[in-house]
Amino acid sequence: MEISDIISIPNVPADTTTGELMMALFSVIIDSERCDNDIVWDFGRVTSLHPFMISALAVYRDSSSNKISLSNVNGALKAKLDEIMFDAPFESADREGSGTDVSCLYDRNVPPICRFSRICPDIDAIQSGLFSIMARNIRNRTREWNASGAISYLLSELVCNIQEHSHASCGYMYIQCDDNEDCISICVADNGVTIHGSYIAAQKTAYSLLVGDDHAEALRYSVKGLSTKNRPDNESRGYGLSTNLNMVVNGLGGSFMMLSGKGFFRCDEDGEQFVNLPDGLAWDGTMILVSIPLKQRAGFNVYNYIE
């Protein structure tokens, strides 16, 4: 008889505070990392999940060396997880023919969680497919939505960062805008070297001295525009994060969260926060979650924010 370790998943609704969200996520990760057997995530306490929690659990499960199954998922949540392909993220066909034709994305009713190789030739098509589903759903709800250019630019920039900086084997994309929500949630993640690691990998002594062992400080430099690109004329462009951050928070009135290695960053109209996680806690790679209100500010123009 096979033995499985059972881990209770906490209820993390969309209005959960950032601190509670991080505590809930890492409680699951810590418990999962301690397991030597197959793992069962018990959703018996869960009625709803924050989009960041959904994304993080899906990415962790997909990349875990342990077999992780789900149990006691209520009907509505199970339908949602099935619809977004939580169990097995969408992956485009590779050169050997495995995976799914990316054109199938356009036939879906909601955007699924997508996994892609950092050198995947279909990355642009995956972005376009996810964006198309999201835009179609939003326009069915409101004709006044005019942030399509901003969302398209943002998604492209965040994925480009994975390709150019992360040294990851794969990345993930997910967009959520449920009928009962008044905002769009965009998650982009990778299993790479983290932002701190990319500064160290750049092999520039000045970077190593600036960030040291401080992952939160590395996040601070990345959103302020310190680049790892070996381009003298692009030295202040950074990860494109400074541009994205300005557009999301100041242009669109949204929020921006980033979890990378041992560092966490959050920014919204109330201010910004850089935090080093407690000893023993770390996220393998980088995950960014952007939340943008559906109702746009009067006079917003994406061209005032793009580079």
Cα-to-chain-centroid distance, residue 21: 14
- Of 63, 88, 113, which marks where a domain is finished? 88
Looking at the structure, do residues 83 and 203 belong to the same domain, yes or no?
no
Crossing angle, helix 51-63 and helix 18-33, to 10 degrees?
Answer: 20
Residue type for position 159: V
Domain boundary among 21, 56, 88: 88
Note the pLDDT of residue 71.
97
69 has which bridge partners?
A: 40
In three-state secondary structure terms, 137 is: helix
| pLDDT value for 212 | 87
Same domain, 126 and 231: yes
Give pLDDT, residue 231: 45
Domain boundary among 88, 123, 141: 88
**CATH number of 272's domain:** 3.30.565.10
Can you give the pLDDT at residue 88?
Answer: 92
What pLDDT shows up at residue 7?
97
Exposure string of 112-133, with b = 16+ CB inside 10 Å and e = fewer, is bbbbbbbebebbebbbbbbbeb
CA proximity to 179, closest of 300, 76, 58, 302? 76
pLDDT score for 234? 44
Q: Where are the alpha helices (DSSP H) in the chain?
A: 18-33, 51-63, 75-83, 123-139, 148-165, 194-201, 205-211, 215-224, 241-246
What is the residue range of 229's domain? 89-304
For residues 193 and 113, membership in a common domain is answered with yes
CA distance 204 to 235: 12
- The CATH number of whichever domain residue 32 belongs to comes to 3.30.70
Same domain, yes or no: 83 and 125: no
- The pLDDT of residue 94: 55
Q: Are residues 273 and 285 in the same domain?
A: yes
- Give the angle subtended at the CA of 199 by the CAs of 198 and 201, to the nearest 5°: 60
Handedness of CA 49, 51, 57, 58 (dihedral sign): positive
Does 39 lie in the same domain as 111? no
Say if residue 102 is in the same domain as residue 192: yes
- Quick check: 86 and 54 in contact, CB under 8 A? yes
Burial of 271 (0-12, 13-18, 19+ CB in 10 A): exposed
Residue carrying the six token digits 């899906």: 58
Question: Is residue 264 located within the same domain as residue 171?
Answer: yes
Q: Are 143 and 3 members of one domain?
A: no
Q: What is the pLDDT of residue 232?
A: 44
Q: How many domains does the chain have?
A: 2
Angle at 191 (CA atoms; ends 185, 194), nearest 5 degrees: 90
- 151 and 74 both lie in a single domain: no
Prediction pTM value: 0.90
- Do 73 and 120 lie in one domain? The reply is no
Q: Give pLDDT, residue 22.
A: 95
Same domain, 258 and 291: yes
Residue-by-residue pLDDT tens, the chain, 307 positions: 567 899 999 999 999 999 999 999 999 999 999 999 999 999 999 999 999 999 999 999 999 999 999 999 999 999 999 999 999 999 876 545 555 678 888 889 999 999 988 777 788 888 888 988 988 888 888 777 777 888 888 888 888 888 777 888 889 999 998 877 889 999 999 999 899 998 888 766 677 788 889 999 999 998 987 766 544 444 443 457 888 999 999 999 999 999 999 999 999 999 999 999 999 999 999 999 999 998 888 888 888 887 6
Packing angle, helices 215-224 and 194-201, rounded to 10: 80
